[in-house]
A and B are shown apart, each in its own frame.
Chain A
C-alpha cells in the first residue's frame, strides 16, 4: 500500500472514540430512543474495525465460486459488517416498538420511570 493510505491504527482510534461516545450515550441519556441511537453508534464503530481489518489483513484465498479470478481477497469482514447492519436493523425495529409500547403504558419513555423490574 502507498503511504497515502492512513495506517490501520487511525481507523482503530476513530472506532474507539465512536464506541466510547456510544457508551456514554447509553449510560447517560434518559430517553429510550436516544439510547437506541447510541447503540447504533456502537454498531457503526464495530463495522469500521471489521472492514478496516478485512482490508488490511484479509485472508487471501481462492474461492471455487470465482471463475475469473485467482487469489481473491476474502471479503469476510465486509460480510460480517453486512450481518451487523442486518442485526442493527432488526434491533432498531424491535427496540422502537418496545419504546412505543412503553410510551403507551407509562405515557413517557423516560428510562428513569420504567423501573418496574429493576430490583
Chain B
C-alpha cells in the first residue's frame, strides 16, 4: 500500500492535471471520454424507443467498457468483453428482437406507468451505494483513506495478462472453470427446450387461450 503522500485525492488529481496538461496520451483523458460514451449509451439503451437502437447503444456501451478494461491493464478481459458481448449477446438480442416483434414505424408505449417511481428508486439506490462505499459505520467520509492507492509499479513484469489469467484458470480456479462449463451446457439445453416450437394443434389452442387472456387482462387494466 502507498504511503500517505501518494494518495491522490480529487483535488491533487485535478491539480496534477492542470500542471501537466490534458494531453490525449494521458490515460485520464481516455477515462473521461470513455465514461461519457458509456453513460450516454447506457442512457440511450434505457430510453430508446426503438429496440434495435437500444441494442446498438448496448453494443457501444460494451465497447466503451472494453476500453475501461484496457485502462485497467486487463487486456484479455477487454478482448473477451468485445467478443462475448458485442459478438455474442448483442447479436442474440437482435435476433430475438427480429423474431419477436415488428420494429419499423412502430410507435408503441415503451415504458410502463412506473417511470417516476422507478427514477426515484434508482436514484435512491445510487445514493445508498455511494454511502456504503465511501462512509464508515459511524457516518464519516472515509473513502479516500480506505482506498489508499498502491505505489508505482509495473504490475505484471514477466507475465502477460492472458498468460496470467490462463494459468490461474487452469491451476487455482479449475473447479470454478468446470462448473462454468456445466452451467453453459445447462443454459444451452434449457434455451433449446424453452424456445422449441410446439405442435400445430398446441399452437392453435394457445392462440385461442392467449386471445382470451389478453381480452380479460385488457378489461382489468381498463377498470
Using a CB–CB distance below 8 Å, which chain A residues touch chain B? 1-14, 16-25, 27-31, 33-34, 36-38, 40-41, 44, 47-48, 51-52, 54-58, 63-66, 68-69, 72-76, 78-79, 81-83, 85-94, 96-101, 103-109, 111-113, 115-116
Contacts and interface: CB of A to CB of B under 8 A. Distances in A.
B194 A101 contact: yes
Main secondary structure of the interface of A (DSSP, over half): helix
A109 B206 contact: no
Main secondary structure of the interface of B (DSSP, over half): helix
B194 A52 contact: no
Contact of A52 (B16, B72, B84): B72
B68 A48 contact: yes
B39 A21 contact: yes
A35 B189 CA distance: 23
B104 to A, nearest CB: 16
Contacts of B99: 100, 103
18 contacts: A3-B8, A3-B12, A4-B26, A14-B68, A18-B39, A24-B119, A25-B45, A28-B111, A28-B112, A30-B112, A40-B58, A81-B77, A82-B165, A92-B88, A92-B93, A96-B96, A105-B206, A115-B217
Contacts of B117: 27
Contacts of A22: 42, 46
Given A96-B93, A103-B99, 12 more contacts: A8-B147, A8-B149, A16-B130, A30-B111, A30-B112, A37-B45, A54-B74, A75-B164, A79-B168, A82-B169, A104-B206, A105-B210
